Amino acid sequence: MTLFARRERRSPTANGRGAPRRRTVPRNQRLAPYLFVLPNMLIFAVFIVYPTINNFNISAYDSNNGRTFRYVGGRNYSELVDNAEFWAAARATALFAVCFVVLVTAASIGLAMLLDQRIRGRGLFRAVFFLPVLLSPVVVGLIWGWIFDRNNGLANTVLRGVGLGEPGWLINDKLAMTVVIFVALWTHVGFYTMIILAGLQGIDPTYHEAAMIDGASSWQRFRSVTLPLLRPTTMVVVILSMIAGFQAFDFIWTLTGGGPVGATTLMVQYIYQHAFESPIRYGLASAGSVVLFCTIFGLTALNFLYNHRKAAA
């Protein structure tokens, strides 16, 4: 993936001669880009950037209704640091995000490799794996919660049938987290598989031919040709899935409600509950979301830096 394309350093005419930029670009070409980006950026600014900055501001206040505010400075943050539930949510979020990113990346590469072969019904398989992406997260959580019900759920009906007992999927904290990760994979793997497939398509077949002439096995070719050339695509998957992982909320809300005993309560739910459930601590919730935002931002930046360095080396 080209993030900050090199050629952009030159003029838009891109003839690469290093002509002095300002003089060669006509006025309408200098104005045009601003007009092109204006409508979209205006909506960004009004509905995302401004409220987010306002949110930083709110995190310095205390409020029990989200409307009347009392200035408290940094006290919301120090309260967060002392709050055990906050750390529990942070740990759960980290665990969930790491597992989700690793598994979804591995699974989508694996699935894409399978689907990238010349097989019958490939289009059908792709459509099937994409199906969960289409469903509303609320409905996804609802369905899986019902399937994993210990007594009447489909999962345990099947397990009982083959004599494997009836695990309490949603009442044991480790199993519940496993279920949450599984459902997240089930929902998203189709989407990331499509991205990886696109990346595989972009790999020049001559590399594979050369490797084959050298007598490389298919595993060796996967390791030393496919994976390195797939790196930029993989990075997109890692970044997108990481952001999705840190934001997970709605399907978990209908699946486990964050339980049992907070085992699957992730950061967004923690924030949501403090903002909207009794006792309402709106400023505290804002402080939580500032922390979450900075975490995601920091990790994404690290990811970019690491990959740029790696690409440059």
Partner 1 sequence: MRRHAAILTAAGFAAALLTACSPGSSSDSGGAQQADEKKLTYVYFTDGPDEQATRNLIAEFEKQTGAKIDLQIVPFANLEQQLQARLSGDNAPDIARLSNIDPFRDDLLDLNAFEKSALDGQFIDGAKAYITGKDGGLLAVPSDLTMNGPMINVDQFKKANVALPDPKKPWTWTELIAAAKKVQQANKTQYAIAMDVSGHRFATMLSQYGTTYFTEDGQVALDKAKATAAVKQFADLNNSGAMPKDVWLQAGSKYKGANEVFLAQQVPVYISGNWQVSAFDKTAKFTWKAVPNPCQDRCGGFPGGKFMVSFKKSKHQKLAAQFIAWMNSAESQKKMCQQAAFLPTRKDLIASGIDFPTRGEDMNLFLADVKQTPADTYANVYNPAFSAAANAARDELAKVLAGKETPDAAVDAMRTAAQKALEVTK
Partner 2 sequence: MTAQATRSKTRPAGTWTSTGDRRPPATGKVLTYAVLIALSIVVLAPVVWTVLSSFKTQAELAQRPPTILPDSFGLTNYTEAMQTFRFATYLKNSVVVTVGATVLTLMINTTAAYGLAKYNFRGRNFLFLVTLGTIMIPLQIILIPVYQVASDLHLVNSLWGLIIPPAATPTGVFLLRQYMLGIPDDLIEAARIDGAGEFRIFLRIIVPLCGAPIAVLTIFSVIWRWNDFLWPLIISQSQDKYTLPVALAQFDSQLVVPFNYILAMSVVSMLPVIIIFLVLQRHIVRGIASTGLK
Q: Which residues in 34-63 contact partner 2 (CB under 8 A)? A: 34-37, 39-41, 43-44, 46-52, 54-55, 58
Residues in the chain: 313
Is the backbone peptide bond immediately before 260 cis, with ω within 30 degrees of 0? yes
DSSP string, 254-288: HHTTT-STTTT--HHHHHHHHHHSSSP-HHHHHHH
Q: Does 207 bind partner 2 (CB under 8 A)?
A: no
Measured at the CA of 13, the angle between CA 7 and CA 19, to 5 degrees, comes to 85
Q: Which range of residues in 77-85, 96-104, 167-175, 199-207 is near partner 2 by CB under 8 A?
A: 199-207
Q: Does 287 bind partner 2 (CB under 8 A)?
A: no
- Taking the least distance from each CB to partner 1, the nearer of 70 and 120 is 70
Sign of the four-CA dihedral 147, 131, 184, 287: negative
Dihedral angle of Cα 239, 241, 246, 249, to the nearest 10 degrees: 150
Q: Which two tokens stand for residue 27?
A: 């006025």
CA–CA distance, 140 with 252 (Å, rounded to integer) = 9
Q: Does 306 bind partner 2 (CB under 8 A)?
A: no
Q: Which range of residues in 80-88, 94-102, 137-145, 162-170 is near partner 2 by CB under 8 A?
A: 137-145
Q: Does 73 bind partner 2 (CB under 8 A)?
A: no
Q: Does 79 bind partner 1 (CB under 8 A)?
A: no
CB of 179 to partner 1, least distance (A): 11
Phi then psi dihedrals of residue 70, to 5 deg: -125, 125
Stretch 157-196 residues interacting with partner 1 (CB under 8 A): 168, 170-171, 173
Stretch 234-293 residues interacting with partner 1 (CB under 8 A): 253, 256-262, 264-265, 273, 276-281
CA–CA distance, 111 with 105 (Å, rounded to integer) = 10
Q: Which two tokens stand for residue 280?
A: 């309402």
Number of residues that bind partner 2 (CB under 8 A): 113
CB of 178 to partner 1, least distance (A): 15
Q: Does 67 bind partner 1 (CB under 8 A)?
A: yes
Q: Does 123 bind partner 2 (CB under 8 A)?
A: yes
Phi then psi dihedrals of residue 219, to 5 deg: -65, -40
CB of 106 to partner 1, least distance (A): 29
DSSP state of 238: H
Q: Does 143 bind partner 2 (CB under 8 A)?
A: yes
Q: Does 2 bind partner 1 (CB under 8 A)?
A: no
* Number of CB atoms found within 10 A of residue 10's CB: 14
Residue of 18, 163, 165, 205 interacting with partner 2 (CB under 8 A): 205
DSSP state of 25: S
Q: Which residues bind partner 1 (CB under 8 A)?
A: 49-50, 53-54, 56-58, 61, 63-69, 145, 149-151, 168, 170-171, 173, 253, 256-262, 264-265, 273, 276-281
